[in-house]
Amino acid sequence: MDHFRILFVCAGNICRSPLAEGIFRHLATEAGEADRFEIDSAGTGGWHQGEKPDRRSIATAAAHGINLADQRARRIETADFDRFDLILAMDQDNLKNLRKIAPPTAASKLHLFNAYALGSNKDIPDPYYGRQDDFEQVYTMLFAGCRALLPIVGKALRAS
């Protein structure tokens, strides 16, 4: 395996999953391993397709030196289940929705973000209806998870 392909998934692909994508890409770049990964994000719903991430996600990421402005929301596609090695849902609802549409062959690729990264069944809360500090809290949670995730997937890549 020359690249490890990871997909972060939330509901609309404008808040949590773009932050996770940006954070993971940033950490992989800092570690000198960005070229070893294909990193993307998607939503289980398509109502924001083509839009930039939520302005509060962009602002939160920018405050930490991460640029999300080039990302565009998209809905998960059937091909994603074959294309990606790991698909991480931000919460139990999105994981349930992914399991409904995924082919049986993709079941082992689907995980709750925090369960896979940190061994916790805690959801990453949706900050959409919250305030700016809710986005900062989500950033902190995602950063901790992505920091733990990088060596986990790096090890899987080296083992293949």
Q: Which residues are catalytic, by number?
A: 10, 16, 126
Q: For residue 84, which of 9, 159, 16 has the smallest C-alpha distance?
A: 9
Q: Sign of dihedral through CA atoms 151, 68, 40, 101?
A: positive
Cβ(81)–Cβ(99) below 8 Å: no
Q: How big is the chain by its Cα radius of gyration, in Å?
A: 14
Furthest CA-CA distance within the chain: 43
DSSP state at residue 32? T
Q: For residue 75, which of 41, 39, 38, 44 has the smallest C-alpha distance?
A: 44
End-to-end Cα, the chain, rounded Å:
6
